[in-house]
Amino acid sequence: MPYEVIFDFDSRKEEIKRISEELTLEKVWSSPEKTKELLKAKSGLESTVTPFESLENKLSYIEETIGILLEEGGELFIEDIQKELASLKEEVEILEVRLLLSGKLDRNNAILTIHPGAGGTESQDWAQMLMRMYLRWAELHGYVTEVVDLQSGDEAGIKSATITFTGEYAYGYLSAEAGVHRLVRISPYDASKRRHTSFAAVIVCPEIEDDIEIDIREEDIRMDTFRASGAGGQHVNKTSSAVRLTHLPTGVVVSCQNERSQHKNRSFAMKIMRARLYALELKAKEKKMEDLIGDKKEIAWGSQIRSYVLQPYRLVKDHRTGVDVGDVDAVLDGKIDLFIKEFLKTKGAGAKN
């Protein structure tokens, strides 16, 4: 079936044109709220239409080039065709995954939090390895990241980290990473060189817009302040600018220490708090916690979504999809797209059944 039939391109193009014309009207552009609403709708339509137009253009170019090649019998265009076909294949694969992201919040920015499991330094080091993996993944895909809270471990690694990922579909992609991650390796902290198993939990929430109402009463929030951690020396923070907010009814705790101002840290922490509480609210309605912020099982054996084995063999295996990758170093360097894609395909197939 042609793409035009599936996505009704003509009507979507007409809608984009209509919105563009409406945005030129004074009664619209003089209203910030209406303008924002229309721009959001237009962006959503364009995110579907534009990639397919790009594919159509590339396909037309390849067909024309092949036609010239057959007529002229020359070989000058063969290398160009091969490059275009490789590029076309890559775009199709990206679009295939993008089409699986049809959830209401999939296009939103993401807020990702990492907590180590039991095991002290071992698990804290593993949590830091995961943080680096996600930062590298974001870098590879052009997402803007900000570490808004980082609690360093006592000897190595981290006790917790909260990172924001800004860019289209950040939440849709990273929602596939929510859950417990397991590492098996020879411990660099064990003098006897024994094999250790470590766990860390990844929680992913969508960043929500200000127009979504979340009822948070001031009396339900407890605020604690502390000194932000840093490298020390002349740049050490001598004031208690870091903020930790606790939502008393739910027990949700959020920290922020990336700003020098306590007021800014509180504002950012409230933004994350709203996202976490909104995720919980949706979970209560849908009875599917794992779809929003990950399965909050015990951070231990039997609850992992993925295992990263460095000893006695080298393999990363996703227990939800059965997909495994032998190049562990590449995965830990941010190349996790195969796992994300297969999980989203499995999730999409499950939704249809």
Choose the weakest-confidence range: 34-43, 73-82, 132-141: 73-82
- Name the class of domain 3-98: mainly alpha
Question: If DSSP codes are grouped into helix, strand and coil, which group holds residue 210?
Answer: coil
pTM: 0.72
H-state helical runs in 73-120: 78-98
Span 310-334, pLDDT tens digits: 998 999 999 999 999 999 999 999 9
Taking a C-beta distance cutoff of 8 angstroms, is the pair 73, 24 a contact?
A: no
* 92 pLDDT more than 50: yes
**pLDDT mean over 98-116:** 88
Residue 5's pLDDT band, with cuts at 50, 70 and 90, is very low
273/278 Cα distance (integer angstroms): 8
Task: Please report, for the chain, the start and end positions of each structural domain, with discontinuous segments joined by +.
Answer: 3-98, 110-352
Highest mean pLDDT among 90-94, 128-132, 240-244: 128-132
The larger pLDDT score, comparing residue 163 to residue 281, is at: 163
Within 8 A by CB and 6+ apart from 154, the residues are 120, 121, 124
**pLDDT mean over 235-259:** 79
* 171 pLDDT more than 70: yes
Q: Given its phi and psi angles, is residue 119 left (phi above 0), alpha (psi -120 to 50 degrees) or beta?
A: left
The larger pLDDT score, comparing residue 66 to residue 183, is at: 183
- CATH for 110-352 is 3.30.70.1660
Task: Tell me, yes or no, if the two domains 3-98 and 110-352 fold the same way.
Answer: no
Facing residues of 203 across strands? 113
Place of tokens 């932000």: 228
* 236 pLDDT more than 70: no
Taking a C-beta distance cutoff of 8 angstroms, is the pair 108, 205 a contact?
A: no
107/269 Cα distance (integer angstroms): 22
* 296 pLDDT more than 70: no
* 114 pLDDT more than 80: yes
| Number of Cβ atoms within 10 Å of the Cβ of 343 | 22
Residue-level pLDDT at 41: 78
Report the share of the chain in percent with pLDDT over 90: 34
Residue 56's pLDDT band, with cuts at 50, 70 and 90, is confident
Residue-level pLDDT at 234: 37
Residue-level pLDDT at 211: 63
The larger pLDDT score, comparing residue 195 to residue 134, is at: 134
HSE-CB of 24 using CA atoms within 13 angstroms: 5
**pLDDT mean over 257-261:** 82
* 88 pLDDT more than 90: no
H-state helical runs in the chain: 3-7, 9-22, 26-29, 32-72, 78-98, 121-141, 170-174, 262-286, 328-332, 337-352
Choose the weakest-confidence range: 35-39, 134-138, 162-166: 35-39
* 107 pLDDT more than 80: yes
Average pLDDT, the chain: 82
* 40 pLDDT more than 80: no
105/292 Cα distance (integer angstroms): 9
| Phi and psi angles of residue 62, each rounded to the nearest 5 degrees, phi first | -65, -45
Q: Given its phi and psi angles, is residue 87 left (phi above 0), alpha (psi -120 to 50 degrees) or beta?
A: alpha
